[in-house]
Structure 1
């Protein structure tokens, strides 16, 4: 069961969004596997691993965080994701 569910609307093409997400996550030492419609990712933070899945439906990027450090709130994760996507 997901610990956080986040939906972020975006402009542009899904392939650009996914390519950017993959580069950011891989560049930070994380793992990313997926397509323009769905996939999974994980990345380490100073407090522990964050992992989840995503789906793209139209212009909506839907993220389910399935594992996160206890001390990291869902709102903090969403804030960081929104910064990266905008």
Structure 2
């Protein structure tokens, strides 16, 4: 499975962006660990794991999806993240 890499501009403070990301993951039953610098997350969707990490620097949030279902395109994940983060 190939990784997906995304860079999103911060929409508000790092704390606000982090809370939106945490809510998006935990509302789907996932795990989210980290702080305003970096962390990781994972969730299961229809029996498949989506996992990755993030870092926040220079007014951007960089997200790396390291594990995802083969048939789930990176573009679909990106669209979901943008909607959840208010971008």
Task: State TM-score, norm by structure 2.
Answer: 0.89
**Corresponding position of 2:32:** 32
SS at match of 2:7: strand
Whole-Å separation in 2 of the counterparts to 1:70 and 1:16: 31
Count of matched residue positions in the alignment of Structure 1 and Structure 2: 85
Give the aligned CA root-mean-square deviation in angstroms: 1.3
SS at match of 2:42: strand
1:37-85 deviations in whole A, cap 9, x for unaligned?
Answer: 1000001112611000000112211000000000101111111111111
Gaps of 5+ in 2: none
**Corresponding position of 2:42:** 42
**Corresponding position of 1:16:** 16
How far did residue 17 of structure 1 move?
Answer: 1.0
Gaps of 5+ in 1: none
The runs of at least 4 consecutive aligned structure 1 residues that moved more than 2 Å come to none
SS at match of 2:69: coil
Whole-Å separation in 2 of the counterparts to 1:74 and 1:24: 17
- Decide whether the 8 Å contact of 1:51 with 1:66 is kept in 2: yes
